[in-house]
Amino acid sequence: MSGVAITAGGLVTAVGFNATASCAAIRAGIRGVRETNLFDPGSGEPVPAGKVDLPQWSEGTEKLADLVAPAIGECLIAANEEPERIPILLGVHGSDRPHGFAGLGEALLDEIEVRLGIERHPQSGVAPRGQVSAALALRRASTIIEKGIARACVVAGVDSLMRQRVVDAYAQRRRVVTADNSNGFFPGEAGSAVLVCATQSIAGPRLEVLGMGFSREPAGIDSTDACRGEGLTHAIRDAVGAAGVDFGSLAFRVTDLNGEHYKFKEATFAVTRMEKRPHHEPFEVWHPIEYIGEVGAAIGPVALTVALTAGRRGYAPGEFVLFHFSSDDGERAAIVGRYSDPRGVA
């Protein structure tokens, strides 16, 4: 893995309109999941959700741009570079999303350009891969920076499940929390972004990306086959191997666990295979979705920003952190990071 690091983050979530507010709320345990106009098609009861209180209601590319443009803007402000020189690599929902928006790529990037008042970098693009989108975009950003095409990249993600027909589709598959189903998630929406730079170019605090791993789970969430967590295990093992660290040195993990039993079971299988530390030594697991709802493709930069902020504020459990993500279509991704501050300032 080439030397890249996360130096800034931007968030628009149900608990805050910027990274500072969102991370503070998540740390304090404030939940933005509340009653909305969404309802359970079976019972007619309201479905709690993590809705962002945008000033006006819209759907499609306009709403997604409203969510993610401010988050990207936070990162561009933090960059010591002209915005037009920074590629934007944007994660969105995959083709398996019920009632997803077709052709999101160019249209969404155009909307973001208008809101930020910038011209798009030729290397900007969209990764339509759901929860693993940010990890794939981060790998692409590493290549762009390593080849000297750009000095920095913004890896962003945006998603919204705040549409009744989307909730209907997931409820029919018993994947949404309702009065008669506890094995599910609360819908949410968010825009998120992180600034990625070459590690050697950063003098201050950063979350270094030490290793990444990717794989595929043969028994996905809708499969009738038993889940063994093999894909996630391979992704984590590859990320840890690429990082050159011992799994026991990882102090905590930030994940896309969303309340569904499948994801908890899969993650437990994967971590148990890797774990060697004594039972009395903690290995904390953080799941921001508990506070902001299921945010799909936006979860990657959310997790990275939460970990970066924890390091900067001095409440991270340790130096090394594991991230892991699972998309509905079976793709799996893992990242190993290390928070460091060469100045010795937390």
List where CATH 3.40.47.10 sits in the chain: 4-201, 206-340
Q: Strand order in 4-12's β-sheet?
A: 125-127, 88-91, 152-160, 189-198, 4-12, 206-216, 331-340, 320-326, 250-255, 284-286
Could you identify the residue written with the tokens 């290390």?
Answer: 338
* Interatomic CA distance for residues 292 and 150, integer angstroms: 33
User: Residue 335: phi, psi to the nearest 5?
Assistant: -135, 135
* Interatomic CA distance for residues 26 and 303, integer angstroms: 11
- Determine the pLDDT at residue 346: 44
pLDDT along the chain (346 residues), means of 10: 89 98 98 96 95 87 96 96 97 94 89 96 96 98 97 98 96 95 97 96 94 95 90 98 95 97 96 81 93 98 98 96 97 98 68
Give the CA angle between residues 18, 177, 328 to the nearest 5°: 75
Which H or E run contains 141? helix 133-146
- Determine the pLDDT at residue 199: 94
User: Span 206-340: which CATH code?
Assistant: 3.40.47.10
Q: Which two tokens stand for residue 219?
A: 């028994």
* Interatomic CA distance for residues 168 and 187, integer angstroms: 11
Which CATH class, in words, describes the domain spanning 4-201?
A: alpha beta
pTM of the complete model: 0.96
Q: Is 105 helix (H, G, I), strand (E, B) or coil?
A: helix
- At position 161, the amino acid (one-letter code) is L
- Determine the pLDDT at residue 102: 83
Which H or E run contains 211? strand 206-216
Q: Which two tokens stand for residue 72?
A: 């990207």
